[in-house]
Structure formats: C-alpha cells, structure tokens
Structure 1
C-alpha cells in the first residue's frame, strides 16, 4: 500500500541533513518504532524506492524523516529539492529493527543517519521501558551530528537516558570521545551479558560493532540489527 503524503515542514538538522514533516490526511499511522517507510518516485522512466525511518512515534497522521543528501543519491537529491506543500509517495511502514523487551536495559549504537531508528526506539523505550537506555552516536565532525539538541534535551528530561557522542575527525576544540562507536564499548558498558544492544549505521560499522560485542561476551540474542549489513560487507 502506498500513501500520498504532503510535506508540511522542512528544517535543517545537520550538515547536508534535512528534516521533513509529512502528513497523510484522514490516516493514523500504526507501526513499531524503528520500522521504516519508503520514498517512491520515477526518474527517466525508472522507479526509485529508498527506505527512511520515521523518528517520531505512531498514533498520528504525520511522520518525521531525516534525510542526508548525497551527490550521487537519487532519492536524497529528490527529497532535498522538495518544498513545503509538495506531495510525495511513501510506502507501508515495515522492518524488524524494533524494541524487543522494554524490561531490559538497552544500548542504541548508531553512526550517521543510522540514528533515525535508534531515536524512534529511544522515544518508545522512554515511554514503555523500565530500565536504562544509553545512546552512542558516532559521526565524523561535530557539525555532522544530527538531532544533537533533541538527544541532549531528552537526556536532560529523562535521568534513565545517557547520550555519548564520538567523532572520527573532531574539531580542535572537541572535548568528547574520539574514534568509532565500537572502540568505546568496553569503557562505556560492563553488562554485556544482560543488556540488549541495537545497532544501525553504515554496514561496516554494524558488522564491526557486532563482532566487538561478541568478543566482549554479549550473547547473540542480545544483539539486534536489520541483518542485511553482513551480506553487503562480504560482497565488497
């Protein structure tokens, strides 16, 4: 099933990342936070379908998306030239990266726009969870961190939420962690046998993070990702 959605707002989120608020009149979205929709359009006679994950919770007629523009990206370039009032086509919301057990402590490990499902799961956990949640977000530079203020505000409002940023190419005045997400797990966590770890980002980051978690003693059933990343890395 596809929907016609109207863009009701756009806003900058970070370097090359733009936020979109979409509305489908007379419809209520019902989905599991962490699942994704698709942007669908045609270009030069070819159909383009690309997945994007809503960062908001279900229960309204609106979705919020965060889309990073890539020079060679058909869908991201298409969306970054859309404006308020434009109508786009989106697909059904589906996917397997969702909260498994709200009664366990969780960690949400992300790089770049892999934050989008993590942010949705984080919001869901803050409503339904009974333990603690720690978001670890890796980016290249500080200006590339998307939803930075949102995460900081959520952490200030919810004592059960911790947020850690780490940069692979930091500015001279950066005082936070340096390096990749998977390089800091041993220092940030000591409960690998009981905490659930959710991972989303570029495929190599996901694969490396899962391998590091296994080496640190995390049971396989505690490691959650979309699952397609291993095939992409193996094919390279």
Structure 2
C-alpha cells in the first residue's frame, strides 16, 4: 500500500542534507521509531523505490526526514528538487530496528545519515525509557553534523542523556573528539555487558563497530543494527 503525501516544508540541515516535512491528510502514522518508509517515483521506464527513516515520533499525520544528496543518487536528487505543495508517494512503514528494552541503559552509535533512525529511537527512549542514554555521532567535519542543534537541545533537557560528537576530518578550530566512532568506545563507555547498543551508518562503520563491541565484551543479543551491512561489506571486497 502507498500513500500520497504532501510536502509541507523543506529546510537546510547541512550543506548536503535537507529536511522534509510530509503530511498525509486524515491518516495517523503508527510505527516503531527506527522503522523506515519508502519513496516511490518514476525514472524513465522504471519505478525507483528508496527507503528513508522518519526522525519524528508516530501518532500524527506527518513524517519528517533528513535526506542527504549524493552526486550519483537518483532518489536523493529527486527529493532535493521537491518543494512545498508537491506530492510524494510513500510506502508503509516497516523494518526490524527499534528499542528492544526500555528498562536497560542504551547507546546509539551513528555516522552520517545513520542518525535518522537513531534520532527517532532516542526520542522514543527519552519518552518511555527508564535508564541512561548515550548518543555518539560521527561525521567527517563540523558542517556535516546532521541535527547537531536538536541533539544538543535534547541533551540539555534530559539529564539522563549524554551526547558526544567525533569528527574524522576536523578543521583546526575543533576541540572535541577526533577519529571514528569505533575508536572511542572505550573512552565513552565503562560497561559493555549491561546496556543495549544500536548501530547505524555506512556499512564499514557498522561492521567494525559491532566487531569492536564484541571484543569489549558486549553480548551479541545487546548489539542491534539493520542487519544488511555485513553482506554489503562482503560484496564490496
């Protein structure tokens, strides 16, 4: 089943990432934060279908997205040319990523556009969770940090939330963490056995982070990701 959604608003988030707010009148979206929908459109003689994850919580007739434009990205180019008033076809929300246990401490480990499901899940956990939450978000440089302001506001409003950023190619003014997410696990966490870890980002980061978590003592059933990243890394080698 698909829905015709109206673009209500678009707004810049970073030089290459645009935010979108879509609305389906007279429809209430119900889903587990972390699940994704799909955008459908025609390109030539074929239908293009691409997944995107809402960053907002369910219960309204609207969805928000943060979509990065790629030079060779057919779908991202299509979305970045949408303007308020345009109609976009979207599919049902689906997927297995979501909060497993609201009574355990949680850690969200993300890079790039992987922040989108993590942000939705973080909001869900802050609304219903009973433990402490940590967000460790990595990017190349400061200008590329998606929803940095939103994360900082959530941290300021929630004493049980700690947000940390790390940059792999920072400029000289950056005084925060440097390097990749998987290089900072030991400096951010002192316990790897009792919390749940949620990982989302480019496949190499996800695979390397999950491997490092296992080395540090995190049980397999406490490490959660979309699940397709291992095959993506294997296919590229």
Common fold: TM-score over 0.5:
yes
Q: By how many angstroms is 1:190 displaced? A: 1.2
Q: Does 1:96 align with 2:81?
A: no
Q: TM-score normalised to the size of structure 2?
A: 0.99
Mapped partners of 1:234, 1:79: distance in 2? 30
1:14 alignment partner, SS class? coil
Instruction: Report matched runs for 1:79-118 at 5 Å.
Output: 79-118=79-118
What residue number does 1:58 align with?
58
After superposition, give the CA deviation of every residue in 1:94-124 in whole Å (9 maximum; x if it has no partner). Answer: 0011000000000000000100000000000
Mapped partners of 1:31, 1:11: distance in 2? 24
Kindly report structure 1 stretches of 4+ aligned residues shifted beyond 2 Å: none
1:218 alignment partner, SS class? coil
2:104 alignment partner, SS class? coil
Mapped partners of 1:204, 1:95: distance in 2? 21
Q: By how many angstroms is 1:15 displaced? A: 2.0
Mapped partners of 1:40, 1:117: distance in 2? 20
Mapped partners of 1:103, 1:191: distance in 2? 16
Give the unaligned 5+ runs of structure 2.
none
What residue number does 2:172 align with?
172
Instruction: Report matched runs for 1:12-23 at 5 Å.
Output: 12-23=12-23
Mapped partners of 2:160, 2:109: distance in 1? 16
Mapped partners of 1:180, 1:71: distance in 2? 24
Instruction: Report matched runs for 1:72-151 at 5 Å.
Output: 72-151=72-151
Mapped partners of 1:232, 1:72: distance in 2? 18
Mapped partners of 1:194, 1:158: distance in 2? 21
Mapped partners of 1:45, 1:65: distance in 2? 27
Mapped partners of 2:15, 2:150: distance in 1? 16
Mapped partners of 2:14, 2:212: distance in 1? 29
The count of corresponding residues between Structure 1 and Structure 2 is 236
Give the unaligned 5+ runs of structure 1.
none
Mapped partners of 1:132, 1:13: distance in 2? 27
Mapped partners of 1:130, 1:53: distance in 2? 25
Mapped partners of 1:216, 1:20: distance in 2? 38
1:146 alignment partner, SS class? coil
2:13 alignment partner, SS class? strand
Q: Does 1:212 align with 2:212?
A: yes
After superposition, give the CA deviation of every residue in 1:136-181 in whole Å (9 maximum; x if it has no partner). Answer: 0000000000100000000000001110000000011001000000
What residue number does 2:194 align with?
194
After superposition, give the CA deviation of every residue in 1:163-206 in whole Å (9 maximum; x if it has no partner). Answer: 00000000110010000000000111011000100000000000
What residue number does 1:30 align with?
30
2:123 alignment partner, SS class? helix
What residue number does 2:155 align with?
155
Q: By how many angstroms is 1:46 displaced? A: 1.1
Mapped partners of 1:70, 1:193: distance in 2? 37
Mapped partners of 1:23, 1:13: distance in 2? 20
